[in-house]
Chains A and B, each alone.
Chain A
Amino acid sequence: MTSYILRRLVFSVFVILAAVVVIFIVMRAVPGNPAEVLLGPNATKAQIAALTQRLGLNQPEIVQFGKFFWGVLQLNFGSSIQFSTPALPLATSRVGASAELAGVSMAGVVVVAFIVGPLLARIPGRRIDRGFTSALMFIQALPPFWVGLLLLLVLVDHLGVVPPGGKSGFSSFIMPAIALGFPFACVLARLVRSGLIEVMDSAYIQTARAKGMPEWRVFWKHSIRNMLLPVLTVGGVQLGLLFAGAAVIETVFNWPGIGQLLINAINERDYSVVEACVFIFACAFVALNFITDVAYAYIDPRIRVSGR
């Protein structure tokens, strides 16, 4: 197990370093001279030349890359043009709000999935079950940012029950958490449902019933527990996707997280902040993948041995 974890850890570090290379390449794909883009149409030739010099854009690519990579190793992405502060601390300061939102959303997702899933699993194939399962698939396909707008329309404009945006009290979490989490709630509810139906047919459940165990106890003690682990590992991956989904949802609800910072930095052409944000997204994603892989290996020993 330890060697497996070490292998995955080394691999994760490698992936993050490679991701830094990708970030560098994509940023150099920006058409034209970034210095020109940054200064806008009214800049003089001298200003452009000065900024080109300052950003090191007149040096060979390989030197630029070396400097960039060395900077990243020291966790230095340069300064934000907009806020004149170092880019990476600026980006990390926004992670908390995003993580809080993802956490609240995930909690809601789990609660909903573990209420809806088991209820449907009790009546597999019945009309209500089929209707709800189809509805889940339908809801899952709705575009999240659009659902966000509908929530704004109904809850804010017509009912006025929650604040329209920004992060304040608990009520400010309601809309973004729903908009962020509903597709995953649907996926998870369906997973719980199909997992439970499968488990309920197995021999040890019949044994438990034969022992005279009451149905609710069979359900909550044996069935749920046994399908919990695979669902939790899928949940780990989803937490990462929730975090990524924040890039879109935070803009809709003016949520002060890293996703909003990213979009804002893109619109302001604040490239070092863009790089720092994308870097953080990549790190978070890789870290969650790593945790999920280790959890998998912990549950299923075959993965450890084959080593992939």
Chain B
Amino acid sequence: MSDVTLQSALLEEHPASGRRRVRVRFVVASVIVALYVLVAIFGPFFTHFSMNRTDIVDRLMPPGTAGHLLGTDELGRDMVGEMIQGARISLTIGIASIAISLTAGTIVGLAAGYFGSLTDGLLMRLADVQLAFPSIVLAIFISAALGSSVLNVVIALSLASWVIFARIGRAESLSTKNRAYVEASRLLGAGTSRIIGRSILPTALRPLTIYATVQFGFVIVAEASLSFLGVGLPASDASWGTTISDGENYLSQAWWVSALPGIALALLVVCMSIIGDDLNERRS
């Protein structure tokens, strides 16, 4: 329950801000997210960055040094390249985990709501058991058990976030399954999968997408947290979390190593939450 409550609190309606203002905010946030995606896809072709190419002479150079726009880290690696690599990893993990948990959660939720009785009881008790674990603790736990790798982090984060989608899917399914048009489709002889896929899913998609946007923010912060704690990605991957963690030891001499990837992460999460928030506002 708790996570869902928090989610609804996060999506709580707020101010009587004007329509135009919402649009501007929304557009700016979407453009920024689009830029992240473009940089993550095409950036590495321009920076030729490699985690293995170190340069001890140029270590811990401040931002603005010639050739290193955002400075270098403790092993002399260019921060721009490292952060672009981080964007790649964050977005990949975020998109993969959300895709998996959204698909699985939606299927489980819609089925539970549609079939009701025993199926519903079983699936939702499973969800309840999972909600006994705070999602970040569950992600840490699973990730630690499986070992550090991109795939394992994706598994851990998907397992930690499918329940929210299942709950939304179930609620939507419950409220639409007895509507007239669903009934009509059933009378016309549509099979179960067709009814769920064509009549119930479309209504559920909207709230599901909104929560997916919010959950995306949670997932990439969780990945960074896991990597920061050393239970996410191996240190050889330039995740924002591992970079922040590396920079922790040089905080007083070279603040940028930790600060910059954090800003990149924060900006992305803020934009995602603005998008989710505005989508939600438009819906209500």
Q: Which A residues fall within an 8 A CB radius of B?
A: 11, 15-16, 18-19, 22-23, 26-27, 29-31, 124-125, 129-130, 133-134, 137-138, 140-146, 149-150, 152-153, 157, 187, 190-191, 193-194, 234, 237-238, 240-241, 243-245, 247-248, 251-252, 262-263, 266-267, 274, 278, 281-282, 285-286, 288-289, 292-293
Contact = CB atoms under 8 A, between A and B. Distances in A.
B1 A285 contact: no
A15 B132 contact: yes
Interface of B: 1-2, 5-6, 9-10, 12-17, 21, 25, 125, 128-137, 140-142, 144-147, 217, 221, 224-225, 228-231, 244, 247-248, 251-252, 255, 258-259, 262, 265-266, 269-270, 272-274, 277
Contacts of A193: 14
A262 B244 CA distance: 21
Given A19-B133, A150-B262, A282-B133, A289 B1 contact: yes
Nearest to A251: B229
A289 B127 CA distance: 14
A282 B146 contact: no
A129 B252 contact: no
Contact of B277 (A16, A124, A137, A157): A137
B137 A143 contact: no
Contacts of B229: 248, 251, 263
A248 B2 contact: no
A143 B266 CA distance: 6
Nearest to A132: B15
Nearest to B262: A146
Given A187-B6, A244-B134, A274-B141, A19 B129 contact: yes
Per DSSP, chain A at the interface is: helix
Contacts, number: 166
A29 B244 CA distance: 29
B1 A293 contact: yes
A305 B277 CA distance: 34
